[in-house]
Amino acid sequence: MESNQAASSMEVETVPSEAKLLPPKPKFEPLKPHEMSDGQVQFRKVNVPPHRYTPLKKAWMDIYTPIYEQMKIDVRMNLKARRVELKTRPDTPDISNLQKCADFVHAFMLGFDVIDAIALLRLDELYIESFEIKDVKTLRGDHLSRAIGRLSGKGGKTKFAIENASKTRIVIADTKIHILGSFANIKIARDSLCSLILGSPAGKVYSKLRAVTARLAERLFSKLLIKILRRIMGSAGVENHLHGLDIFSFLTSSLTLDSSSRAAAAAAAATAHRFHRRHRNRLFLHDAVVFNVVGLF
């Protein structure tokens, strides 16, 4: 018993010691882009095809200005190697700017206009997808020529219609096709182009495009109306009344809006009525509350 008590007393006893002061927490400045890779300068090189050399000379200042002044990336044309070379600078704000500029120059080399390709510098969710006609269907001779003609249409009418409907930009370079746009829009344009390659007439492709764009317009219109209603009533009122309600009966209801919101509600109802007459379908906001909406104005 005495030994157990001695052991317990030995466990409890502590040796007093002076409180040790910790050193102050170090404060490090954020690393600059050129310091993230151990101070090494990052490079990108984009080859210039022979048929794009003259357009590059004409549009050089339009390409050089946003890259050097806005993205803070050094750029030069290597005349001997026939390629555009890019590298980071000590004042480059973001290391990803180098890849964005390389994608921008590459898009111009594929045949896109500067005003279209420059969107790659402004937006993050833009991509370029390339494929060949033979990837869809093996065609030779006159069959291949007719397929290219169906893709472009008379005076480029079919290509422009697909671009405007899907909000993309399309380049048809011989048997190669390049599409610039967001992921969902590229899919819409690619499906239309593949249908034309497989032999579908342009009228049938237009009909499918009208149906697809109507669905996209529905989605966009619903989000726009939610922004308007949130601005008028506040988020609480919209969450309490939107679920499962028809837009038109909700906007024209005298129970949900006060007198000060009549004009805004009437304008929104008129817009909804015009949209309904155009697309011949009624919109319901079953999942309106889950949208992450910011203020419209």
Angle between helices 202-233 and 183-197 (to 10 degrees): 160
At 17 the pLDDT is: 52
Q: First vs last Cα of the chain: how many Å apart?
A: 82
| Contact present, 197 and 147 (Cβ < 8 Å) | yes
| Contact present, 85 and 50 (Cβ < 8 Å) | no
| Contact present, 223 and 208 (Cβ < 8 Å) | no
Q: Where are the alpha helices (DSSP H) in 14-87?
A: 53-58, 60-65
Query: Coil, helix or strand for 165?
Result: helix
At 33 the pLDDT is: 65
At 214 the pLDDT is: 79
Q: Would you give the distance in Å from CA 229 to the centre of its chain?
A: 26
Its pTM stands at: 0.65
174: left (phi over 0), alpha (psi -120 to 50) or beta: left
Q: How far apart, in whole angstroms, are the C-alpha atoms of residue 292 and residue 295?
A: 10
Q: How far apart, in whole angstroms, are the C-alpha atoms of residue 191 and residue 196?
A: 9
Q: How far apart, in whole angstroms, are the C-alpha atoms of residue 137 and residue 77?
A: 38
Class of domain 127-200: alpha beta
Pairing of strands 176-181, 73-78: unpaired
pLDDT in tens, the chain (297 residues): 555 554 544 455 555 555 567 888 888 887 766 677 666 788 899 999 999 999 999 999 999 999 999 999 999 999 999 999 999 888 888 888 899 999 999 999 999 999 999 999 988 889 999 999 999 999 899 999 999 999 988 888 999 999 988 889 999 998 899 999 999 899 999 999 999 999 888 888 888 888 887 777 777 666 666 666 666 555 545 444 444 444 445 544 444 455 555 555 556 656 655 555 554 443 333 333 323 323 332
At 289 the pLDDT is: 30
Pick the CATH number of 33-122 from 3.30.930.10, 3.30.1370.10, 3.40.1710.10, 3.40.190.10: 3.30.1370.10
| Contact present, 243 and 182 (Cβ < 8 Å) | no
At 282 the pLDDT is: 37
